[in-house]
Structure 1
Amino acid sequence: MRRLLAPALLLFPLAAFAAGSGSDSPPTPTETTTTCTDGMVFDADLGKCVEPEVESLNDDQRYRAVRELAYAGRLDDALRVLASMGDQQDDRVLTYYGYVHRARGDFELGDSYYLQAIDANPDNLLARSYMGQGLVIRGRVDEAYAQLTQIRARGGAGTWPEQALVQAILTGHDTSY
């Protein structure tokens, strides 16, 4: 199937826009990953590492920390920060729970979080892409292609989620951010 899909998929450029960041690169290391330990997050206003639950941090700051920690391979720390998020049913929180569990090798648990994220927001292209990438790794390319079709049908043509999933389908490898 991959050989049949490759020509059609290659028609689209494969820019590597980092998920959820609006950037074309992995997250830039900050003090959260260079200085802080044990799931703590750097609070620039306070100039120090703080517990992720502190009120001085908002969920956007926590979300950026989760992304950075996950990319750095500090998955337990990313889970700690995710657990401090205010709305545990927010689709982006569920998406990153899925990402972290998939990165830990628990594809089934990761999929369950992705499906919850998609149920909460059917237009969550990132959850669809990450789930599709996990499906590719497990050899379930037809199911991954179904997610790619959904991404495109929901206005995601040319986005990082689409292009990352195309790359995974073509190479058999997922992205690390």
Structure 2
Amino acid sequence: MTETTPQLIRQRYDSFTLVLHWVTAVCVIPQFTMNLFSFLPSAMIQRLLPVVFVLLTTPVFAAGDDNTNSKTPDCPTGQVYDSTTKQCVPEKTSQLSDKDKTSYAYHLAKKGEYQAALDLLNTLKNGDTAEAWNYRGYATRKLGRTDEGIGYYQRSIALDPTYAKVREYLGEAWLVKGRPDLAKAQLETIATLCGHSCEEYKDLQAAIDGHPES
């Protein structure tokens, strides 16, 4: 007799839930909708059909997108989010990857914890990556050490010239230094990397537009 483990029970529950959503979307809701439409004028029905279509399809597609826009959770001081276990673990855990440390350092920097981000980057086994240098430059620049930050950005670009995010941040640093011409040069490079609609281009363009010397 096969043993029923908690993991197996969870898998069966998830499968049952998915089927239940599908049955509800395909069978129950359409039947209710048809009964409702039987009381409405044809002109109103034509206007409502696109809305009903969205309502019927959105839940089905959303079922598989729970983690698409998930954000890195905040961990207690001295801990880092482990993407493998999906938990906060002590910073000094040997199994913690440089990739997770680098990502969490950026998370800290975006929250305004710049020194904590730098301290975490200092623990990397291999800090010579485009991402690590970029995030180090970002945190350093935000601490007011713009020249030092620019140096880190340039090291990042040397490792990966196609890295659009570091070029956005370098452009912003040049604006701080009063060099909008160099910021625009980075903007032009970003356009060749990801076009005019990518986030990096839009953010740097907005920074340039809002700079009085541009």
Q: TM-score, normalised by structure 2?
A: 0.60
Task: Pick the aligned partner of 2:80 from 27, 37, 41.
Answer: 41
Structure showing greater Rg: 2
User: Is contact 2:146–2:173 with CA below 8 Å preserved after alignment?
Assistant: yes
In structure 2, the partner of 1:19 is none
**Could you list the runs of 5+ residues in structure 1 that have no partner in the other structure?**
1-21
- Equivalent residue letter for 1:150: T
Return the offset for 1:43: 4.2
What does 1:27-106 align with in structure 2 at a 5 Å threshold?
28=71, 30-32=73-75, 36-37=76-77, 39-43=78-82, 45=85, 47-51=87-91, 53-106=92-145
Q: Which has the higher contact order (CA 8 A, sep 6+)?
A: 1
Return the offset for 1:48: 4.7
Task: Pick the aligned partner of 2:182 from 143, 149, 153.
Answer: 143
User: 1 CA distance for matches of 2:100 and 2:71?
Assistant: 14
Residues 144 and 48 of structure 1, relative CA distance in 2, 3 Å threshold: closer
Structure having the larger proportion of residues in helix: 2
User: 1 CA distance for matches of 2:195 and 2:128?
Assistant: 23
Task: Pick the aligned partner of 1:119 from 158, 178, 188.
Answer: 158
Q: How far does the alpha carbon of each residue in 1:89-141 deviate from its partner, in whole angstroms, 9 at most, with x for none?
A: 11111101110111101000000000111111111111110010111123211
SS at match of 1:86: coil
- Equivalent residue letter for 1:142: D
SS at match of 2:161: coil
Task: Pick the aligned partner of 1:134 from 155, 162, 173.
Answer: 173
User: Is contact 2:81–2:100 with CA below 8 Å preserved after alignment?
Assistant: no
Q: TM-score, normalised by structure 1?
A: 0.72
In structure 2, the partner of 1:167 is 206
- Equivalent residue letter for 1:31: D
State the number of aligned residues: 144
- Equivalent residue letter for 1:81: L
- Equivalent residue letter for 2:73: T
- Equivalent residue letter for 1:109: E
**Could you list the runs of 5+ residues in structure 2 that have no partner in the other structure?**
1-67
Q: How far does the alpha carbon of each residue in 1:19-67 deviate from its partner, in whole angstroms, 9 at most, with x for none?
A: xxx96xxx946232xxx11x4324473855402x422222232222112
Q: What root-mean-square deviation, in Å, do the aligned CA atoms of Structure 1 and Structure 2 show?
A: 2.4
The share of aligned pairs that are identical, in percent, is 26
